[in-house]
Amino acid sequence: MVEHGDIRVVHRGGSKINFREPVITHDSRYLLCASGECVKVFSTSTEECIHDLRGHTGLVTGVLLKPSNHLQVYSCSADGTVRLWDYTDGILIKTYVIGCPVYSICASANHEGVIFIVTPMRVINNNSEMLVAVDLPQSGDQLVEARELSAVLSDVSSNPAAIVFGRGGEYIASANGLHLEVYFFKKQKSYRFSLKEDNKKGGKNTVTCVACHPKDDCIATGHEDGKIRLWRNFNHKKEYTYSTLHWHHSAVSSLCFTPEGTNLLSGGMESVLVQWRYNQESERDFLPRLGSAITHITVSPDGALFCTSHSDNKITIIQSCVKVSAVIQGLVKGDVRTDMMVDPRSKSLVLNGKPGHLQFYSLPRDKLLYNLDIVQQEYIHESGLEQFEVVKAAFDASGSWLATVEERKQKDAELELNLKLWAFDEQTQSFVLNTTISAPHEARITAMCFCHATDSQTTMLVSTSKDGHFKAWQLADEGPSWSCDFVGAYHGLVPECCCFSADGSLLAVSFQEVVTVWSPASWELLTTLSQPPKAVRDLCFGRLSCSKYLLGTTANNLLCCWNLLTCSLEWSTSMDISLLLADPLTENMAAFCCQAGSTDLFVFKPSEPRPVFSQKAVCSGKVTRAVFAPREEMLESCEESSQWLNHSQLYFLTPYMDLMTFTTKAEEDRLMASSKQLVIDDSVAMTPFYLLLGKHRQQEDADPLSGLSAERRPLPQCSVAIKELLQTPAHVLPSTSFLCSMFVQSLLISVTNGREETKHVEEEMESEKEEEDSEGEMESSTQRPEQASLGGQAAPALTKAQLRELKRVKKLDHSWFPGLLHS
């Protein structure tokens, strides 16, 4: 087994965008958020990702606008560095090496050149987090080591929502558990306030988030019981007071004041944004039905936009009038019950999304396309309540049909099952429910697959169930609608999985330790394969030149390969395979093998004894979901070791719901180079002038030397003079009277050239009058004088429109021309 260092495992989209609080720029045009090991820059108007700020080697734990420069942003990471970026161009400016993991970052305009970070520190043999002030060195180097660190507060929370500056940086408030600590920088003194664990009414007083009023001495804290406390007079240990606001029925997850301090925003599990009037707390506004629990709230520096992060990996952009203007949706994280699939039409990744939905996720754009509501029932957010869940899904070869299985198991009740068939609608470009089959089986469905033969005259779906039967569902021409065509069983055994061959001529169904092979044309049992002593878990037919092989994995950690021509076991090997899948475009197959707490990958061809590729420990834990996604463009000039990546790309989900893939170094370099290219600003208003200017630029780019544009192009010395005049500072230029004559002369054409051009025009006008009916001869007479003036070089023929323009120029009065030159 050979490992190839040129191929690496990388994150390819799907990372969390709700992990940390997002940041909105000063002009409210961009939104920045931490996403895995990079920082994503989104447009607030188009929802598109403008840049990926890549460079960190660990998880990005915070994003912060630089107080002294609104075009730059800090990012901190668990890799122990703080990086400074120009987010408009996506350029890394500087890297500050801290030397230990950074959990969060904050800064204030009052503390120029200093940032505050939360980092783990050992205090009296006790591991805890500490708030540290870092003095950033003023150096021209791009990589700088930050050595001047000073402790500010100890025993702080690693949650960024629990630490915030107040009153422009005069003090900093930190909450941890039941304690609120306020540190005053001028006094260099801190005051600590504590609450009881439970109040008289049984509410939990644990602090979950903190916000400080931008102008008044007021600190707002959110608590686990849904209450909000407004603290005042906290600069005195014994004279502090607080008032209580209560609307949320569960923990308050985020608090934020508007820049002017007129409103306080709060959010939590209720999926409702609450806007409280400051000093008029009885008046409040609500923005309900935001879809999922609110985790973070941000306000733009100009107060024009609000922003909420949600538990379903979504960011909602809200106008200050409390109206949703944009939604940025990432890959929804959760319990994936279906397989990972690729939609044959949109080439998007399909898997479980919101409860009762399937999400269609664009892999190249790293963006959710849409959610398909399968259950079509309102989901109730209540723990312990059993509701319908999507557990199986499958596409046919063309993407015209989608089959889904939903189930619900309530206490002391029978299992509820629904098999739904969805047809793709060309007009709406989405799937529409065609057939619903209630109780398709008497027990839970274990597997489901379509016949993927492209030349098949009928569309067929097969489902297996724990009731001991497999059923074939066929599409009827009338309707069209689906009906059961065949019911099969084998000696009362329970079927576990099923698979069609590439040409659709064979169907393999595993009944515990027996593999049965059927003919879908006549539903005749062709043969049985019973070599393994344990139950078969996965079945895969070979492709192309390996189509004669059938592979399966067993419960006793065996990978078996049968030859269907001889109906015998070709080979077997001992491997604890958690997932086996075939590349639909090549003969390659991928096997994820779980060993010693991590997962190894083996890519092989059934006909060859040596693996095509192998890599140890691609991730920790067990991989149970993966898919081969066809490439839009086949890779070129690949080395032999990475040929298996030419046609398809292998994606897999880690146990932590990170979407990973395999890529080559050359492909990564190409993606990195393309990401550094400047992106055209998409926020320019589409005015008539903008459209006219865009059309003019396109014409210039398409044919810059056509027509009169080349003839009227300024001379080289003219462009240099204009540049020097416009770019040189005014205080170092000579007087305007001295520059005027020089500037005008640089714009004029010499007398000799002017007279020659006039002579040529006269000759052309005469030839036009003499040979008006012969267009070919007119063009040749036009070329001869031009060739003489250009030293024999060939010049393009003038069109009729250009000749009319020259005729108009000839009629102009040029008597002022010689006088201007001799003045």
Read off the pLDDT of residues 655-678 as tens digits, 9 standing for 90 and up.
877 888 888 877 766 666 555 444
Domain boundary pick from 693, 711, 729: 711
pLDDT, greater one: 698 or 218: 218
pLDDT of 126: 52
* Mean pLDDT, rounded, for 792-810: 67
Structure tokens that stand for 395 in this block: 């596409």
pLDDT of 207: 93
CB-based burial, 219-253: b 16+ in 10 Å, e otherwise: bbbbbebbbbbbbeebeeeeebebeebebbeebbb
Domain boundary pick from 155, 172, 205: 155
pLDDT of 815: 62
Within a domain: 504: no
Within a domain: 499: no
- CA 23 to CA 160: how far, in whole Å? 13
- Beta strands 659-664 and 648-653: pairing type? antiparallel
Within a domain: 28: yes
110 and 150 together in one domain = yes
Contacts of residue 249, Cβ cutoff 8 Å, sequence gap at least 6: 226, 269, 270
CA of 543: how far to CAs of 570, 577, 689, 818, in Å? 16, 20, 56, 84
Give CA angle at 597 (592, 603), nearest 5°.
Answer: 20
Domain boundary pick from 110, 140, 155: 155
CA of 102: how far to CAs of 80, 87, 99, 124, 792, in Å? 6, 21, 9, 20, 72
Report the percentage of the chain scoring pLDDT > 70.
79
Range with top average pLDDT, 359-368, 564-573, 760-769: 564-573
Find, among 642, 331, 496, 422, the residue nearest to 340 by Cα.
331
**If you write DSSP's letter for every residue of 335-373 in order, what string do you get?**
---SPPEE-TTT--EEEE-STTEEEEEETTTTEEEEEEE
Asked if 400 and 424 touch (Cβ cutoff 8 Å), the reply is: yes
**pLDDT band for position 638 (cuts 50, 70, 90):** low
Beta strands in 489-631 (DSSP E): 495-500, 507-511, 514-519, 524-529, 536-541, 549-554, 558-563, 568-574, 577-582, 589-595, 598-604, 613-620, 625-630
pLDDT of 704: 45
291 and 318 together in one domain = yes
223 and 132 together in one domain = no
361 and 269 together in one domain = no
CA atoms within 13 A on the CB side of 94: 17
24 and 145 together in one domain = yes
**pLDDT band for position 582 (cuts 50, 70, 90):** very high
pLDDT of 597: 84
Range with top average pLDDT, 122-136, 252-266, 694-708, 768-782: 252-266
Asked if pLDDT for residue 498 goes beyond 80, the answer is: yes
* Mean pLDDT, rounded, for 347-369: 88
Asked if 207 and 164 touch (Cβ cutoff 8 Å), the reply is: no
* Maximum Cα interatomic distance, the chain, rounded to a whole number of Å: 113
Range of the domain at 339: 334-379+386-439
CB atoms within 10 A of CB 429: 11
246 and 169 together in one domain = yes
Within a domain: 106: yes
- CA 535 to CA 530: how far, in whole Å? 10
pTM: 0.71
361 and 230 together in one domain = no
Q: What CATH number does the domain containing 55 carry?
A: 2.130.10.10
273 and 139 together in one domain = no
Within a domain: 282: yes
Question: Which amino acid is it at 802?
Answer: Q
221 and 249 together in one domain = yes
pLDDT of 461: 94
Can you say whether the dihedral through the CA atoms of 752, 758, 762, 768 is positive or negative?
Answer: positive
pLDDT of 714: 44
pLDDT of 286: 93
pLDDT of 664: 80
Within a domain: 423: yes
Structure tokens that stand for 155 in this block: 């025993």
* Mean pLDDT, rounded, for 617-629: 90
- CA 82 to CA 69: how far, in whole Å? 16
221 and 296 together in one domain = yes
Asked if pLDDT for residue 123 goes beyond 70, the answer is: no
Question: Which amino acid is it at 24?
Answer: I
pLDDT, greater one: 604 or 727: 604
725 and 703 together in one domain = no
- CA 246 to CA 249: how far, in whole Å? 8
Domains of the chain: total:
5
**pLDDT band for position 77 (cuts 50, 70, 90):** very high
Least-confidence region, from 106-110, 519-523, 775-779: 775-779
234 and 207 together in one domain = yes
Within a domain: 650: no
- CA 419 to CA 473: how far, in whole Å? 11
C-alpha 805: how far from chain center: 54
Least-confidence region, from 9-13, 411-415, 737-741: 737-741
pLDDT, greater one: 286 or 620: 286
Within a domain: 570: no
Asked if pLDDT for residue 212 goes beyond 60, the answer is: yes
Range with top average pLDDT, 18-27, 125-134, 726-735: 18-27
